[in-house]
Structure 1
């Protein structure tokens, strides 16, 4: 009987250990499966968050580009106005620099001008003086 009981005990021990091995294998496989699922969910959440961030960044870049375009247009208009004003000032300066016909020179350096023609007697007077 001892041998039968020992045999039963050995069979029970063998079945008990095989059950334990199967349970351990199932438990480890479940842990691995759960870990992979959590890892995949984490990657999906990260990809989603990165997509949202990239969309927000694109929108902010577009807004900045629109603001820069507006500023550039305003600056171009200002530059055009400044160029027009400069051209008008140059024209005014050029008009003022040209002496008008029949006008006297009122510059501050009058002593450099040649006044010999102002003091000459007229041709008629010179002709009359030669005759007499």
Structure 2
């Protein structure tokens, strides 16, 4: 192999490795919860907005599983997801491909359950990979 071919091959391998890092998820819910009787619990004030998930789109893609979160009572606290990009290297959502950031918006005093799972199959708490009980206080 000539030196030019080796450089090209090395550049191709490095590019593929960097692109694979683009698809991923940053789950911030763990930082916001406490564990009470083996149940994750989060307490937020009315009017608060907290980032829960940052999902990076990219190579190689999600292959039928795309992370999502839903609220059992959107009147108490709803989930809003927006397209976004992070300009911090190696942080989701990616710089090149972007992704989605999902945040919890606390509307009124009460309780709700957040369910995390696959966007395509997540309809209620029975299909969730994990759940968090959220209490909104005044």
Q: Same fold (TM over 0.5)?
A: no
State which structure, 1 or 2, has the greater radius of gyration over its C-alpha atoms: 1
Higher RCO (C-alpha under 8 Å, 6+ residues apart): 2
Q: TM-score, normalised by structure 2?
A: 0.25
Q: TM-score, normalised by structure 1?
A: 0.26
